[in-house]
C-alpha cells in the first residue's frame, strides 16, 4: 500500500494493531466514484437489488464471529453489544429488501387524462428514480449499523444508488472487512462489485462531497464535521442534498408526579441510558429536568448510586477520551454547577461515568454563561437541571436547539388523560424540539421499524429526513412524471397492466 | 406610506401607474414574520384551514374582474390568459383543501409494539407536523398561480404554515389586492389575518431568508436570484430548506420518423408553445433537436411561417425586454448560428418572436463557445439544433444541465413499441435530464394534478420536490415519531380510534 497509512488502533491500549489501508488520493476517490457511477445501470433491476441486499445480510451473518472480533478489537464496544448491533444491521438490510419488494416507496401516482377539465388534463404517471452515486460518511459509534453496511448504505442501495463510503478512522479494519463482504454479495448477485466501495482519509471525504458525479450524501457524526460537509455540498456548482445527523442533547423531563411515583426507578433507568455504549449514543439523554424537592432528591440519589457503582469504560479513541475529559472539566467549573459523581478519567485508557447538576434558575439567568451545558458532550455524562415549577422547565426547554429525541417521565395519572395535568401541553412543547418523543422509556435504542423517525430540527439533522426506519429510502430518490407517454415506452413500474404489481394511487376515470 | 416607494408600472408604455406600497424595512420584515409566527397555533386546526383555503378561492373568484384587470394593467398578459390563470389558482387552492381533508399527506404510520422481537419493538406512531413560517418568493411570469395566492402559498397554508410572501416587483398592485383577499378569507374563517402577509423590496427578501423564525422557503425565478437566496438559506446558523425553481432549457427531440410523419404540425405546435405567454413560461421549449434533411426542413419551414406571422408581444417589464434583446443578440452572433426569423425588438415596448439555428456538429465541437445556447433565454425565442444521427442528438442532450421538462416528438410506429426504434432508450436518456417527460405534446401547460411533478435536476430546482401537484405540500412538513405515548396524550391524528378518519399504514399485530 502506498500513501498515508491507515492504522487499526486498539482503544484499550492506544496501540496500533495493523495497517489496513492507505488514505485515498483525489485520483483514487475519482476512480471509486466513476466505477460506482458506471455500475448504476446494473442496480436498476429491483429483483437483483433485493437478492443483493439479502445476500449481503446472509454473508455478514455468516461471518459474524470474525466481524464482531474485528470490530471489538478496534472499538472496545464488547462482543455482546456488537453481536446485537450486527443482528440489527442485517435485519436492516433485509427490511430494506422487503421495502423494495413491496414497492410503496416508489410512490406511484397515476392521473387519468380528463378532457372535460378546463384546461383538459393530460395523462400523468409519476414514480421515483434513483439519484445516482451516494456518498456515505460512516459514524464512529456504530461500527456496523451506522457504518459501511449500515442504514445509509442499505437504503441507498435499495433505492438503486451505488455507494462510496468514507470510512470512519476508528474502525478501518471493520470497514474493510464489511466492504469486502458487501462486494462479494454484489458479485454473487450478478452485480459489479463497485456498486459499493470504501475510501479512507479526511481529504478523501472532502473530495467525495465535491465530486460532480456524487448526487447526495448521508452523514452521522459531529456538528463541526457535519456542518463543514453540509456547507461543501451546498456550495457545489450543482448543490446536492446532504442528509446529516449532527448532534443532539436529547432532553428528558421528569414531572413532579413521576418523581413522586418512581424516583428510584427513573434514577436507575437514567444511569443505564447514560452509560449504555459508554455514553457514545447519538440519543444519550444529555440534559434532564428534575423537580426540586425531596422526590427529585430521591431520583438524583438513585442516579448517584447507580453511576457511582458503574465501572470505567473505554471510549472509541483517545481523542474522544481527551475531549470528554476536557468537556466535562469546562462544564464542571461553571458557577453553580455541582458534580455529585464527577465524570472523567478512570485510568490511563478509560473514563468514569458521572453527572453534573445546576439549578434551572441559574441556567435561565445566564444562558450565555452556560452555553456549554446546552451542547452535546459525547461520553457517559448527563446534566441534571433542577426546576422549581413547570414554567421554569418550559423556559429551559425553550433554550434548547433541535434534538433527535425528547423524553417525558410521567405519572400514571398524567398518562391517563390530558386534563388538568399539563402533560399534553408538554408533549406539544417537546414535539417542536425533536424528531421522536418518548414517554416513560429512554431514548437509547432506536428501533428499526416502518414508523421510526431518526432525525429532528437542526442540529439534530440537516434535513427533514430520517436515517433509520421505513422512510429512510426516500432520501435517495427523485420523482419524475410522464405525460402522455405511450404504454410500451413507459418504465414497467408505470405501465397500465402493472406488471410488477406495485401499489399505486390512481386518480380520475377509467383508462382511455 | 414611508420608505422607498413601490410603483405599479404599465409594461405597455413603461409608465408608472400608481404607488401601491413601500419597500419593507428590516424592522417591518421582522414584524411580519413575528406576526406570522404568533399566528401558527391558529392554523393547527385542519378543519379551519380547509375552510380558509376554500374561502380564499371563493373570494378570489368573486373578485375575478378586479383581479384580472389589475393584473393585466401591470403585466400585459391579457384578460384571456389571466382569467384562465385565476381559475387555475382557485382550483389549486381548492385542490390543496381537498388534500388536507383527505389527510394522506400526513403519511401516518403506526407500528404496534412487538415484545417478541430482539430487541423488543416499542409502539411507534408517526405523522408530519408543519415547519413554521414559510417565506414565498413570487414569480414574475404568473402573477396569480405562482405569486401571492399561488401554489407555494396554498400548499404551505394547507400544511399549517403561516406565509410571508416577498412580492414580485412586476405586479405589486396585484400582490396587494390578492393579499387583502387572502387576509379577508383568513379573518372570515376565524384566523388571524397575519397567517399570510406580503412584503416588497429586494432587501426585504434577503431579510426574510435570514430571519431566525423563517423555517423554509419557496421560490420561482431566475438562476442568479434563486442561487443567491439558496446560498443564504444554507449559510444560516440554522440552515433551512430552500425549494427553488430556477431555470430550464426544456429540450425537445424530434425523431426523423416523427418529422417525416408530422413536420408541419410539429413546426406549428412548436411556434405556439414558444410564443405562449410571450415566451415567458418556465417550461418554454428552449432547445429543439430537429433532424437534418428534407423532413427537418419542412418542420423549420412551418416554424418560420408561424413565427413570422406572430405579432409583437409585450414582456413583463422593460428590463426583461432589454435582457431578451441582448440575449438574442449575443447568441445570434456566434459562428454558425442562423436566424431564419430574427427575434428582437418589435417596437418601442414590444418584442418579436423568432428562432435561431445551429448544426449539432458545431455545438458539439465547441460547447464552450456555445455555452449561451445551453442557457435559458427568457422570452419568445428557441434554438433549433439540426442533428445528423441519433448519436449526435444523444451527445447534445448529454451537454445539458437539469431541466423541468423534456419532450419527445415520436412517430406512430415509435409509439407502438420500443423495438427497434430506440424510442425507449430516448425516454431513459431524457428521464435523467428532467422532472417531467412529455411525448407528442408540448411542455407549456403544467396541469394541477395529484401525479404532477414540476421540478427537476439542478438548476431546474434546488431540491427534489415539486411546486405543483399533489405532493407540493410535502415541502412544508417534517415527520415526528411518538414512542409509547399514552393514547390520551397523542395528537388526535395518531390516536388508536382514529377520530379524524385518516388513512394510515399499520404494521404488526393487533393493538395491545
Residue linked to cell 460518511:
A137
Is A21 in the B-facing interface, judged by CB distances under 8 Å?
no
Contact A450 B505 (CB under 8 A): yes
pTM of the predicted model, to two decimals?
0.97
pLDDT in tens, B436-471: 999 999 999 899 999 999 999 999 999 999 999 999
Chain B residues with CB under 8 Å of A470 CB are 109
In a shared domain, residues B216 and B113: yes
Contact B118 A87 (CB under 8 A): yes
Residue B484 lies in a domain: no
Is A122 in the B-facing interface, judged by CB distances under 8 Å?
yes
In a shared domain, residues A200 and A310: no
pLDDT at B244 over 60: yes
Residue A53, C-beta contacts closer than 8 angstroms, at least 6 positions apart: A93, A94, A96, A97, A100, A154, A157, A158
Nearest to A64 by CA among A50, A85, A49, A95: A85
Nearest to A406 by CA among A418, A421, A394: A394
| pLDDT of B189 | 98
| pLDDT of B418 | 72
pLDDT at A481 over 90: yes
Residue A54 lies in a domain: yes
CATH number of A64's domain? 3.40.605.10
Question: Residue A94: which domain range?
Answer: 20-104+129-246+465-476
> Do B10 and B74 meet the contact criterion of CB atoms below 8 Å apart?
yes
Contact A441 B124 (CB under 8 A): no
- The conformation of residue B312, written as its DSSP 8-state character, comes to P
Nearest CA in chain A to B423: A489
In a shared domain, residues A227 and A257: no
User: Which residues of chain A from 262 to 301 reach within 8 Å of chain B, CB to CB?
Assistant: none
In a shared domain, residues A335 and A187: no
In a shared domain, residues B240 and B310: no
Mark whether B377 is an active-site residue.
no
Which residue(s) pair with B417 in the sheet? none
| Assigned C-alpha cell, B274 | 414558444
Alpha-carbon distance of A50 to A56, in angstroms, equals: 10
Burial classification of residue A345, based on how many CB atoms lie within 10 Å of its CB (0-12 exposed, 13-18 middle, 19 or more buried): middle
Residue A508 lies in a domain: no
Alpha-carbon distance of B415 to A343, in angstroms, equals: 72
In a shared domain, residues A59 and A177: yes
The mean pLDDT of chain A is: 96
User: Can you say whether the dihedral through the CA atoms of A433, A434, A438, A442 is positive or negative?
Assistant: negative
Catalytic position from the list B161, B282, B376, B392: B282
Burial classification of residue B197, based on how many CB atoms lie within 10 Å of its CB (0-12 exposed, 13-18 middle, 19 or more buried): buried
Residue A457 lies in a domain: no
pLDDT in tens, A243-276: 999 999 999 999 999 999 999 999 999 999 999 9
User: Which residues of chain A from 436 to 495 reach within 8 Å of chain B, CB to CB?
Assistant: 436-441, 445, 447, 449-453, 455, 457-459, 462-464, 466, 469-471, 477-486, 488-491
Provide the domain count of chain B: 2
Residue A480 C-alpha, separation from nearest chain B C-alpha, in angstroms? 5
Alpha-carbon distance of A267 to A99, in angstroms, equals: 39
Which stretch of DSSP H or E encloses residue B3?
none
Residue A401 lies in a domain: yes
List the single range of A31-40, B341-350, B355-364 with lowest mean pLDDT: B341-350
Residue A10 lies in a domain: no
Residue A348 — very low, low, confident or very high, per pLDDT cuts 50/70/90?
confident
> Do A100 and A49 meet the contact criterion of CB atoms below 8 Å apart?
yes
In a shared domain, residues B316 and B379: yes
Residue A470, C-beta contacts closer than 8 angstroms, at least 6 positions apart: A95, A99, A449, A450, A451, A452, B109
Residue A114 C-alpha, separation from nearest chain B C-alpha, in angstroms? 11
Residue A361 lies in a domain: yes
Please state, for a pLDDT cut of 70, what percent of chain B lies above it.
Answer: 99
Which residue(s) pair with A446 in the sheet? none
User: Which residues of chain A from 128 to 157 reach within 8 Å of chain B, CB to CB?
Assistant: 129, 131
User: Which of B235, B431, B489 shows the shortest C-beta gap to A480?
Assistant: B431
In a shared domain, residues B101 and B125: yes
ipTM > 0.95, yes or no: yes
In a shared domain, residues A275 and A393: yes
Is A90 in the B-facing interface, judged by CB distances under 8 Å?
no
Nearest CA in chain A to B425: A489
| pLDDT of B510 | 59
pLDDT in tens, B13-65: 999 999 999 999 999 999 999 999 999 999 999 999 999 999 999 999 999 99
| pLDDT of B512 | 45
| Catalytic residue IDs of A | 245, 282
| pLDDT of A512 | 45
E-assigned strand segments in A194-266 = 196-199, 214-220, 242-245, 251-254
Residue A190 lies in a domain: yes
In a shared domain, residues A219 and A259: no
CATH number of A335's domain? 3.40.309.10
In a shared domain, residues A259 and A241: no
Contact A234 B231 (CB under 8 A): yes
In a shared domain, residues B238 and B276: no
Nearest CA in chain B to A108: B451
Which stretch of DSSP H or E encloses residue B215?
strand B214-220
pLDDT in tens, A130-143: 999 999 999 999 99
Amino acid at each position: 500500500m502506498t500513501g498515508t497509512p491507515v492504522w487499526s488502533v486498539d482503544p484499550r491500549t492506544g496501540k496500533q494493531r495493523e495497517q489496513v489501508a492507505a488514505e485515498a488520493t483525489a485520483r483514487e476517490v475519482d476512480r471509486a466514484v466513476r466505477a460506482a457511477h458506471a455500475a448504476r445501470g446494473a442496480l436498476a433491476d429491483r429483483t437483483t437489488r433485493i437478492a443483493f441486499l439479502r445476500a449481503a445480510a446472509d454473508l455478514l451473518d455468516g461471518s459474524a464471529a470474525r466481524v464482531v472480533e474485528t470490530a471489538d478489537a478496534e472499538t472496545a464496544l464488547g462482543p455482546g453489544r456488537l453481536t446485537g448491533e450486527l443482528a440489527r444491521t442485517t435485519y436492516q438490510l433485509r427490511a430494506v429488501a422487503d421495502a423494495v419488494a413491496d414497492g410503496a416507496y416508489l410512490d406511484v401516482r397515476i392521473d387519468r387524462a380528463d378532457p372535460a377539465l378546463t384546461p383538459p388534463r393530460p395523462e400523468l404517471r409519476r414514480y421515483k428514480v434513483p439519484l445516482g452515486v451516494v456518498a456515505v460518511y460512516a459514524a464512529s459509534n456504530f461500527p456496523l449499523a451506522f457504518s459501511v453496511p449500515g442504514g445509509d448504505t442499505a437504503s441507498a442501495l435499495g433505492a438503486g444508488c451505488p455507494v462510496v463510503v468514507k470510512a470512519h478512522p476508528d474502525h478501518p479494519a471493520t470497514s474493510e472487512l464489511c466492504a469486502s463482504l458487501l462486494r462479494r454479495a454484489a458479485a454473487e448477485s450478478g452485480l459489479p462489485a463497485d456498486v459499493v466501495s470504501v475510501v479512507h482519509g479526511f481529504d478523501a471525504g472532502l473530495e467525495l462531497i465535491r465530486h460532480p458525479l456524487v448526487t447526495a450524501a448521508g452523514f452521522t457524526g459531529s456538528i463541526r464535521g457535519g456542518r463543514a460537509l453540509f456547507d461543501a455540498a451546498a456550495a457545489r456548482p450543482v448543490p446536492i442534498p446532504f442528509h446529516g445527523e449532527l448532534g443532539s442533547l436529547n432532553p428528558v423531563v421528569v414531572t413532579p408526579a413521576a418523581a413522586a411515583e418512581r424516583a428510584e426507578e427513573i434514577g436507575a433507568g437514567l444511569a443505564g441510558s447514560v452509560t449504555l455504549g459508554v455514553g457514545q449514543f447519538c440519543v444519550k439523554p444529555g440534559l434532564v429536568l428534575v423537580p426540586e424537592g425531596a422526590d427529585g432528591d430521591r431520583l438524583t440519589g438513585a442516579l448517584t448510586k447507580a453511576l457511582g457503582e458503574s465501572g470505567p469504560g473505554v471510549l472509541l479513541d483517545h481523542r474522544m477520551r481527551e475531549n470528554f475529559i476536557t468537556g466535562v472539566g469546562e462544564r464542571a467549573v461553571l458557577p453553580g454547577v455541582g458534580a455529585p459523581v464527577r465524570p472523567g478519567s478512570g485510568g490511563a485508557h478509560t473514563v468514569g461515568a458521572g453527572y453534573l447538576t445546576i439549578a434551572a434558575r441559574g441556567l435561565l439567568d445566564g444562558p450565555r454563561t452556560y452555553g456549554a451545558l446546552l451542547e452535546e458532550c459525547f461520553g457517559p455524562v448527563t446534566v441534571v437541571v433542577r426546576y422549581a415549577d413547570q414554567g421554569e422547565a418550559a423556559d429551559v426547554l425553550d433554550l434548547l436547539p433541535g434534538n433527535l429525541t425528547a423524553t417525558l417521565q410521567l405519572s400514571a395519572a398524567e398518562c391517563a388523560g390530558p386534563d388538568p395535568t399539563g402533560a399534553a401541553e408538554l408533549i406539544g412543547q417537546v414535539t417542536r424540539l425533536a424528531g421522536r418523543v418518548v414517554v416513560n422509556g429512554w431514548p437509547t435504542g432506536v428501533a428499526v421499524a416502518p414508523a421510526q423517525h431518526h432525525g429532528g430540527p437542526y442540529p439534530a439533522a440537516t434535513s427533514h429526513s430520517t436515517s433509520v426506519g421505513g422512510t429512510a429510502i426516500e432520501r435517495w430518490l427523485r420523482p419524475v412524471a410522464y405525460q402522455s407517454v405511450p404504454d410500451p415506452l413507459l418504465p414497467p413500474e408505470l405501465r397500465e397492466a402493472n406488471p410488477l404489481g406495485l401499489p399505486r394511487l390512481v386518480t380520475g376515470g377509467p383508462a382511455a
